A and B are shown apart, each in its own frame.
Chain A
Amino acid sequence: MLSSVLSLVVLLSATGAAAVERVEHDYYKYHPMPEITDWMAQVEKDHPDVVTVVEYGQTYEKRTISLLKIGLNTGEEKKAIWMDCGIHAREWIAPAFCQYFVRQILQAHKTDPKMQEMLKNLDFYVTPVLNMDGYIYTWKDNGTRLWRKNRSPGPSGCNCTGVDLNRNFNATWGTIGVSFDCCSNIYCGRQAASEPEAQAVTYFVGSRKEAFLCFLTIHSYGQLLLLPYGHPNFTASNYNELMEVGLGAADAIRRVHGMNYTVGTSPAVLYPNSGSSRDWARMLGIPFSYTFELRDKGTFGFELPEDQIQPACEEAYSGALHIITYAHDKTFSGAVATAAATLWTMLLAVGVTGNTLM
C-alpha cells in the first residue's frame, strides 16, 4: 500500500515537473520583450527542421535584433517573404500579429498542402519586434506607453531622444512628411539609415534583394493597406497590380470579421511621407511591398484591448496570406503553367503530323 502511494507521488511529481517547465504561449495577450525572445527560441526548438533564429543586427542600446527564418530546407537558394513588426514602439498589436502569423503558418504547414508547397518554395523571414529598445521602453511605466521612436540620443544641442525609424530609410529620405526637429515624433534622423535598426534591415534585405517577393511591414492603427510610394510625385511601376492585390487582401480581411480596410498609397489615403521601409523595399525592386495598419480606427488606438488581439490577427492573417499567395503563385505556378503549355503544344504538333510516332 505504502509503496504504491510512494510510486504515485513520484509519478505525479515527475509529470508535474515536466508540465511546469513548459507554459503555453498565449497568443492573445501582449508580451514583454523577454517573453518574446524566449518564445522565439522555443519555436525554433519545437520545429528544428523548419525554423531558425537568425541574428542580424543591434539596436542603439546594443540589443541583438533577431528574426525567425521559416521554410523547408531544400539546399537551394530560395525566394523569400519579409515581415517586420514593431518598427513603432507603441503599436503593440503589431508584434502580437507577428507571433500569431508564425504560429499560423507552422500549424498550417502540418495540414494544408498549399502552405506546405509555399514553405517548400519560399522562406519566411519574420522579425517580431524590430524596434526593441522602443518596445521595452513602452513597458516601463504609464508615462512611456505611447513612445513611438527608437531610443538613440538626439544630436548635440537637442534635448530629445529618438528617431522615427519609418522615416529613416534611404528612400527619398528627408523630403516630405518628416521633421528635422529631433523632438518631433516624425524626426527622420541626421541622415538616411543613420539608425542601427534601419541599418540592420537595410543590410540583411539589401544583400538578398533578388530573393524577396514580398515586404510586409506591420503597424497600427487605422485599418489601412498602404502601397508605395509615400512621396506624391512617384508612382510604383506596378501600381495597378499592387492596387488590385491590395483590394483582394482587403476583401479577404472583410470576409473574416466584417472590418473595412482602406487601400491606397500613403499620400492618397493618409499623408505623404518619405524614408519608409516600404518605399525603400519597393525601390530595391521587391515587387509586393505593403504597410499594414491594423485595428482600430481610433476608439482605443494604440491601446487595443487584449480581447481584440484574436480577431485583429485573424483578419490581418487573411490579408497577408492573400498577398503572399498571389506573389508565390505568380512566381511558381507560372512555371508549371508554362511547362503544361509546352507539353500540350508538343502533343498537338505530334497529333497534327500524325503518323510520325506510330
Chain B
Amino acid sequence: MATGELNPNHYPARRAAKVVQHYLNTHYGSPFRLFGLHNVQSGNAEDVADSGRKYQLEISVQEIISNTTENCSAEVLFLRGDQQHSPQVQVSCAELLKSNTAAQEEALFQKYKMNQSLLSAQNLPDSYGHIEPDNKPLWHLGIVASSSVMLKESTENTLFNMAQVAHITQLATENEQLKFDCHILLHEMVSQEIIHWKLLFTWSPPEGVKVLQMEQLPHCHHCEKPPNTN
C-alpha cells in the first residue's frame, strides 16, 4: 500500500479521511451538528513498527447543518494484528468544534422529554431521498450513532457511509437520558454491500450520543424485507 507522500485524490488518503469524519461525528455529532468530509488537501502515510500504518492528513470538513467548511489536521492509525482493532484518530480543527448548538439541543431534548408518546420513525430517508422535517433530528441521531459503528469497523480496505435509518424507536427511560433503539443500513463502498446493524443508544445535550449496544444483523439474502426489529 502507498507509503510516503500520498496523492490526495487517490483512495488511500480518501479512505483514511473518511475515518476522520466518522470520528468527528461519533465524538462531536448531535441533532444539530453533523460532519461530512469535504476534501483531502494532502496526506502522508508511514508504517509503524509491526503494528500498522499511520496517516497524517490535511483535510477540509463541512459542518452539514450550518453549511460551513473548515480545515483540519488529523492522524489516523490503522492497527494490524490478530484482533480487530478500531482505527485510532486524533484531529484538530480551529473553529469547527466550537459548539453554539447548545440552545437548540436543549429545546429539542425538552420537546422530546415532554412528548406524551414515544417517538418512532422508519425509512429515513425514504426511497425518494425524502425525510419529513419532524424526523430530521432522528435521522441526525441515527447518523451520529452509526458513526461509532462505522469508526469501529473501518480499515484501509473499507469506505463506509450510512445508507438509511430503517427504523428508529424511542424507549422509555427512568433517568435524564433519552433512549433509542434503531436498525441502520450501512453502505460499504469497496464490497458494495449493505450491512445491517442494530443499535441501542442514549442522548442528552450534556452527554451527547452514547452507544450502549451494537449488533451486526445477518443479511437474509432470500428475504424480501429487512429482519423484523420488534
Chain A: residues with CB nearer than 8 A to chain B?
A: 29-30, 138-146, 148, 159-161, 164, 179, 183-186, 222, 260, 262-264, 268-271, 297-306, 308
Whether the Cβ atoms of B192 and A159 lie closer than 8 Å is: no
Task: Identify the 9 closest CB pairs spanning chains A and B, nearest first.
Answer: A298-B161, A305-B129, A143-B225, A185-B192, A303-B129, A160-B221, A303-B125, A145-B127, A304-B129
CA distance A207 to B36 in the complex (A): 45
* Shortest CB distance B117–A (Å): 23
Of the listed stretches B9-17, B76-84, B94-102, chain A binds B9-17
Count class of interface residues, chain B = 35 or more
Separation of A142 and B194 alpha carbons in the complex (Å): 14
Number of A-B contacts (CB under 8 A): 97
B123 at the interface (CB under 8 A from A): yes
In the complex, which of the residues B122, B130, B162, B166 contacts A305, with contact meaning CB atoms closer than 8 Å?
Answer: B130
> Which B residues form the contact surface with A (CB < 8 A)?
7, 9-11, 14, 18, 36-37, 39, 64, 122-123, 125-130, 161-164, 166, 185, 187, 189-194, 221-226
Residues of A within 8 A of B224 (CB): 140-141, 143-144
Q: Are A141 and B225 in contact (CB under 8 A)?
A: yes
Instruction: Give the interface SS of chain A, mostly helix, strand, loop or mixed.
Output: loop
CB contacts (< 8 Å) of A139 on chain B: these are 127
Kindly list chain B residues whose C-beta atoms are within 8 Å of the C-beta of A140. 224
Which residues of the other chain, B, contact A269 by a CB distance below 8 angstroms? Answer: 9-11, 14
Contact residues in A for B194 (Cβ distance below 8 Å): 146, 185
Q: Bound complex: CA of A159 vs CA of B192, how far in Å?
A: 19
17 extra interchain contacts, Cβ-Cβ under 8 A, other than A143-B225, A185-B192?
A138-B127, A141-B225, A142-B226, A146-B185, A159-B222, A161-B221, A184-B191, A263-B9, A264-B10, A268-B11, A270-B11, A271-B11, A298-B162, A302-B163, A303-B127, A303-B164, A304-B129
A186→B39 contact, CB < 8 A: no
Q: Chain B residues with Cβ under 8 A from A29's Cβ?
A: 128
Report 6 cross-chain contacts, Cβ distance below 8 Å, ordered by A residue.
A142-B166, A184-B191, A260-B39, A264-B10, A298-B187, A301-B162
Q: Which residues of A contact B11 (CB under 8 A)?
A: 268-271
- Chain B nearest CB from A191 CB (Å) reads 21
A282-B167 Cα distance, complex, nearest whole Å = 43
A163 to chain B, nearest CB (A): 13
Q: Do most interface residues of chain B lie in helix, strand or loop, or is the interface mixed?
A: loop
Pair B161/A268 contact, Cβ less than 8 Å: no
Contacts of A302 in B (CB 8 A): 163, 187
Q: Contact at A301–B187, with CB atoms within 8 Å?
A: yes
Query: Within the assembled complex, what's the spacing in Å between the Cα atoms of A14 and B64?
Result: 51
- Roughly how many angstroms separate A299 CA and B164 CA in the complex, as a whole number? 10
Closest B-chain residue to A263, C-beta based?
B9
A220 to chain B, nearest CB (A): 11
Q: How distant is B36 from chain A, measured CB to nearest CB, in Å?
A: 6
Give B168 Cβ to nearest chain A Cβ, in Å.
14
B222's contact among A160, A297, A298, A308, by CB below 8 Å, is which? A160
Distance in angstroms from A242 CB to nearest chain B CB is 15
A120 to chain B, nearest CB (A): 38
Question: Do B7 and A268 have beta carbons less than 8 Å apart?
Answer: yes
In chain A, what residue has the closest Cβ to B124?
A303
B221 with A183: CB separation less than 8 A = yes
Q: Is B128 a contact of A306 with CB atoms below 8 Å?
A: yes
Query: A303 touching B163 by the CB < 8 A rule?
Result: yes
What's the Cα separation between A306 and B18 when bound, in Å?
Answer: 25
Knowing A264-B9, A264-B10 touch, does A297 contact B36 (C-beta < 8 A)?
yes
Closest beta carbon of chain A to B138's beta carbon, Å: 15
Whether B163 and A301, one on each chain, are in contact in the complex, defined by CB atoms closer than 8 angstroms, is: yes
Interface hub of B9, B10, B127, B163 (most chain A Cβ within 10 A) = B127
Which B residues lie within 8 Å of A143 (CB)? 223-226
Q: Please measure, in the bound complex, the distance between the C-alpha atom of A144 and the C-alpha atom of B166, giving whole angstroms.
A: 12
Residues of B contacting A160 in the complex (Cβ-Cβ under 8 angstroms) = 221-222
Q: How far is the CA of A262 from the CA of B128 in the complex (A)?
A: 26
Q: Known A268-B9, A268-B11; judge A308-B129 contact (CB<8 A).
A: yes
CA distance A302 to B125 in the complex (A): 10
A144 — nearest CB in chain B belongs to which residue? Answer: B224
CB distance from A133 to the nearest CB of B (A): 15
Q: In the complex the two chains form, what is the Cα distance from A183 to B192 in whole Å?
A: 12
Instruction: Give, as a whole number of angstroms, the nearest-CB distance from B40 to chain A.
Output: 9
B127 closest partner in A (C-beta): A145
User: Closest A-chain residue to B40, C-beta based?
Assistant: A262
